[in-house]
Amino acid sequence: MSSLRQLTSSLLMATGLLFLAACGGGDNARVTLKLTDAPGDTFEKAVVTISKVYLKGDVDGEEGKGDVVLLSEPVTTDLLTLANDAADLVKDAEVPPGRYKELRFVITGGYIQVKQDGGSRIFATSPSYEGLPEGAQVDGDLQMPSAASSGLKVKFDKDADVTITSDDDQKVILVDFDVAQSFGKEAGNSGKWVMRPVIKGADLQFSGNVEVTLQLQDGLGFPVPGTAQLSGFSAVLVNADGSRETLPFTATTSAVFVADFKYLLPGTYQVDVVAPEGVSFTTDLARPAAATVGSGAEAHVDFTLTSIGF
């Protein structure tokens, strides 16, 4: 079974042959599908097997015949490795011009690993699920209602259709799988988990990012030299659903540190700063600060430390 990072020539060959056979290749556009994970820090692993991905809509001149398969080779990936990143799930697939309303993901298995009862527990769709690590002990069930039959619907940003024309040299679609919002414990004491996916899609040209900077106020230094530096601080991004992502600050100059949250769908996010353990601080901005990401735009939140204590 392929991993996401092994989808290279074999996947390109499979998708290329599929569309050349089905559509002739003449006026088709090329579509790349990128998979990312929305902010989240609750789970240790969230592994799924994606067995099929297809677009639904209307191919030009063939209304109602818009099902176009983008992926038919099973791919297994840990969604948590995709936070603040985007990996190619499908690359350069040929798609006939038309208007497409949604993507469908057929997921045929998976498991999550969570911290629970002072330890680490695994919940899987089956004790024999092929994506499980060798020798893994399955502690409970993970249910995925209808995921393996009709597939999971991925609506595009603001319910807008994606139009693909023969003039498109490349169309890139970003699929944002919100792990933190997609898995939850079943009510009661059954010990089961259920996947009710929160997945959103958008043209990659409409995704954005939030750049967070951190610097010291002029004349301010660390009370105990060498005990903490700005590189020990982290930025926290929270989306509208409450999912969180944490990134460490890295130096760009001797005085300014940056954390860049990438591949974000348009919307409003909350941004905060976290200090190393035992360090207290204040900033010039009220925390958390709001950041609004527009289509294809970069939002900036600039924090200046105004006091530091231990």
Render pLDDT for 69-104 as a digit per residue (tens, 0 to 9): 888 888 898 887 776 666 677 877 788 888 888 888
Question: Which position has the higher pLDDT, 33 or 308?
Answer: 308
- Given a contact cutoff of 8 angstroms between Cβ atoms, the answer to whether 239 and 275 are in contact is no
Let me know if 187 is exposed, middle or buried by CB neighbors in 10 A (0-12, 13-18, 19+): exposed
Of all residues in the chain, the percent with pLDDT exceeding 70 is: 75
Greatest C-alpha distance within the chain: 71
pLDDT, tens only, 154-181: 777 666 677 777 666 667 777 777 777 7
Name the residue among 95, 121, 99 with its Cα closest to residue 30. Answer: 95
The DSSP secondary-structure symbol of 39 reads: S
Counting Cα atoms < 13 Å in the Cβ hemisphere of 268 gives 3
Among 30-34, 61-65, 254-258, the minimum mean pLDDT is found in 61-65
- Note the pLDDT of residue 11: 30
- Note the pLDDT of residue 2: 38
Domain boundaries, the chain: 2-206, 208-309
Is the overall model pTM greater than 0.75, yes or no? no
CATH superfamily of the 208-309 domain: Immunoglobulins (2.60.40.10)
Question: Which position has the higher pLDDT, 150 or 284?
Answer: 284
Residue 166 corresponds to which tokens in the numbers above?
Answer: 């023969």
Name the residue among 158, 154, 104 with its Cα closest to residue 266. Answer: 158
Distance CA 13, CA 2 (A): 14
Q: To 5 degrees, how large is the angle CA 104–CA 105–CA 107?
A: 150
- Note the pLDDT of residue 85: 62
